[in-house]
């Protein structure tokens, strides 16, 4: 099991202790400073009793606490909508899946290859019209993340360098960094809210009242305005403490994450010169500064920053290049005047140089072993598969009508082919011509590669919007029943669509706190269905017991087959999708053990394990591509 992915996802949900501590420290410092300033001002008029006046203390506590709470919750709700919101805040525009711009097409191809090779849903890609070189990943979880790049990155970097940067961003997605970044942004917004109110008061409200006229000497506006200017200036100055703690929190997110993401990019691509070359170009020739009003607030999201202060959120570029040179980045080593290694070595374990955990061995069809990772061989084979795909397929998979047609062909069975064609001609006129023309091309792909095509089609399906996508799913559901049954291949496609498309329509937080101990009934249901669907009558009980033993469950008779329906399976995985990630990993290992009980790994066994992984929101690559 790739424990790095599962533990990283859980840690991202728990890694708020340090943030909460700094958050409380910042709020307390702001409250204390404001109380001291107001008490001092009042004591000059009312004596020392102002320092202990409960009304003043309560007012400061309620006022500052209320402002900070509202601002934090508002920002958190805003960012919980998904990575698209952050991309839009930075002025990004989504790149169309059918773009004909060569640089945009190259970028999308790189992202798609990495997504298929890793099992992460293909993220929407946004471009910021900025001449600098930078990129970011954002989103509350792997299924709702986005990738953003500057126009300068596409224009100034070559393919290897772009791939290195995108691999760095995928590492942040794998390790839950995008989630913690969103929480950090909300906390910073809350702490800085008091200072913002003070600034607005002394810069706008106070001067507006001070310039007011009317009723001659009896007009209180100028006096009130002058008082508000002074008060606002004091509050703004005190609120600057919030800015200080905000920058501290940004830096405390741990610059070490950037070193780890750099090392992971080398591991994923086996090309340290790619990411090192991108960093060298930023250092020597181009800027990394993004000219967006939101760039400072979201600075910790970026691949690189031009800020070089005490509270910088990224380590110095020279230090990052130096560590990459130690991993075999020959071009960067030469530019630094370091002797070039004769051959490019594997990244050595060096003191002070963080190394990502090694990939686990790849047992046959053990999909779980590669969860949340990006293996170089799979990335290379995925690239070869893309190149070998017929042009008609690569064109159709990026179009909404072609994406629908491909999904219809995946569920079409010979027994109901004529009924399926009539249904599509009636319910989806736009997709019907492509359904007919792509028939042979899709049918020649293996079952796993057909699901990989569906994964590629996800962005085009998402572009349909909620209503358009709902109509497509209704048509697809009717096609699944044209042969009188809904088999596990159909179910695998349904789970893939739920994860790769439907999760992007969600705006609320995903729950990941459940424990297997409280869901043993659901776990048994899943293991039993895998046992009866993938084994003969003689081996079903043994397969079921093997899966239960993997989870530490007591041995029982396999449930009655009449209870093991697809509806029961759907209900079970829906509940299990609330497990913490470490338990999801254990569950998937048990599924793999059950499926492979007979030692004969076949395509259906892989598909069912991958379908359960999709249901649990765990990225599993299409191993059949290997």
Q: β-strand 146-150 against 125-128: which pairing, if any?
A: parallel
DSSP state of 299: G
The strand order across the sheet containing 135-138 reads 93-94, 125-128, 146-150, 135-138
Cα–Cα distance list, 500 to 115, 308, 566, 618 (Å):
11, 38, 20, 11
Cα gap 548→566, rounded to integer Å: 20
Reading the block at residue 158, the tokens are 């070559």
Q: What are phi and psi of 417, to 5 degrees?
A: -60, -45
Q: What residues pair up with 268 in beta bridges, in sequence order?
A: none
Q: Which of 113, 169, 534, 589 is catalytic?
A: 169
Q: What residues pair up with 172 in beta bridges, in sequence order?
A: none
Q: β-strand 93-94 against 135-138: which pairing, if any?
A: unpaired
**Which residues touch 189 (CB under 8 Å, ≥6 apart)?**
71, 72, 74, 75, 297
Q: Is 169 a catalytic residue?
A: yes
With b meaning 16 or more CB within 10 Å and e meaning fewer, what string describes 262-293?
Answer: bbbbbbbbbbbbbbbbbbbbbbeebbbbbebe
The number of CA neighbours under 13 Å toward the Cβ of 554 is 1
Asked if 298 and 86 count as a contact pair (C-beta separation under 8 A), the reply is: yes
Task: Supply the residues annotated as catalytic.
Answer: 169
């Amino acid at each position: 099991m790739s424990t790095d992915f599962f533990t990283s996802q859980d840690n991202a949900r728990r890694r708020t202790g340090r943030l909460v501590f700094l958050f409380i420290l910042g709020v307390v410092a702001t409250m204390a400073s404001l109380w001291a300033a107001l008490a001092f001002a009042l004591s000059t008029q009312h004596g020392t009793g102002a320092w202990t006046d409960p009304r003043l203390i309560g007012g400061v506590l309620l006022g500052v606490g209320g402002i900070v709470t509202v601002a934090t919750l508002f920002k958190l709700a805003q960012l919980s909508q998904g990575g698209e919101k952050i991309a839009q805040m930075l002025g990004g525009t989504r790149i169309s899946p059918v773009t004909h711009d060569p640089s945009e097409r190259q970028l999308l191809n790189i992202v798609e290859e990495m997504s298929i090779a890793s099992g992460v849903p293909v993220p929407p890609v946004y471009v910021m019209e900025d001449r600098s070189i930078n990129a970011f990943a954002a989103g509350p979880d792997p299924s709702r993340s986005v990738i953003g790049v500057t126009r300068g990155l596409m224009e100034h970097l070559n393919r290897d360098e772009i791939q290195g940067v995108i691999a760095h961003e995928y590492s942040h997605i794998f390790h839950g960094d995008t989630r913690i970044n969103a929480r950090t942004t909300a906390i910073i917004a809350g702490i800085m809210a008091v200072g913002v109110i003070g600034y607005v008061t002394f810069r706008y409200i106070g001067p507006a009242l001070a310039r007011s006229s009317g009723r001659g000497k009896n007009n209180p506006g100028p006096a009130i305005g002058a008082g508000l200017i002074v008060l606002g200036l004091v509050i703004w100055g005190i609120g600057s403490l919030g800015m200080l703690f905000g920058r501290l929190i940004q830096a405390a997110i741990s610059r070490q994450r950037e070193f780890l993401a750099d090392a992971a990019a080398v591991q994923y691509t086996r090309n340290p010169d790619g990411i090192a070359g991108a960093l060298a170009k930023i250092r020597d020739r181009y800027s990394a500064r993004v000219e967006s009003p939101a760039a400072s607030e979201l600075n910790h999201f970026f691949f690189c920053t031009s800020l070089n202060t005490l509270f910088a959120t990224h380590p110095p570029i020279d230090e990052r290049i130096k560590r990459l040179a130690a991993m075999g980045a020959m071009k960067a080593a030469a530019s630094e005047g370091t002797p070039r290694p004769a051959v490019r070595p594997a990244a050595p374990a060096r003191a002070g140089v963080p190394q990502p955990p090694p990939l686990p061995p790849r047992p046959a069809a053990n999909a779980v072993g590669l969860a949340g990772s990006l293996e170089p061989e799979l990335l290379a084979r995925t690239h070869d598969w893309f190149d070998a795909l017929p042009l008609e397929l690569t064109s159709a998979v990026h179009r909404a009508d072609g994406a629908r047609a491909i999904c219809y062909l995946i569920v079409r069975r010979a027994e109901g082919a004529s009924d399926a064609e009539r249904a599509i001609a009636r319910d989806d006129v736009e997709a019907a011509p492509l359904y007919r023309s792509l028939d042979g091309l899709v049918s020649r792909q293996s079952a796993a590669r057909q699901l990989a095509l569906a994964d590629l089609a996800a962005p085009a399906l998402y572009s349909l919007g909620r209503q358009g996508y709902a109509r497509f799913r209704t048509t697809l559901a009717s096609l699944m029943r044209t042969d009188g049954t809904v088999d596990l291949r159909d179910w695998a496609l349904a789970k893939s669509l739920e994860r790769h498309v439907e999760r992007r329509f969600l705006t609320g937080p995903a729950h990941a706190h459940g424990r297997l101990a409280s869901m043993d009934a659901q776990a048994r249901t899943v293991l039993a269905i895998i046992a009866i669907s993938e084994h003969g009558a003689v081996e079903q009980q043994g397969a079921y017991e093997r899966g239960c033993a993997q989870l530490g469950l007591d041995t029982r008779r396999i449930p009655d087959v009449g209870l093991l329906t697809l509806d029961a399976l759907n209900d079970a995985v829906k509940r299990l999708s609330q497990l913490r990630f470490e338990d999801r990993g254990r569950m998937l290992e048990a599924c793999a053990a059950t499926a492979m009980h007979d030692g004969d790994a076949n395509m259906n066994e892989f598909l069912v394990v991958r379908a359960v992984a999709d249901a649990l929101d765990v990225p599993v690559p299409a191993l059949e591509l290997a």
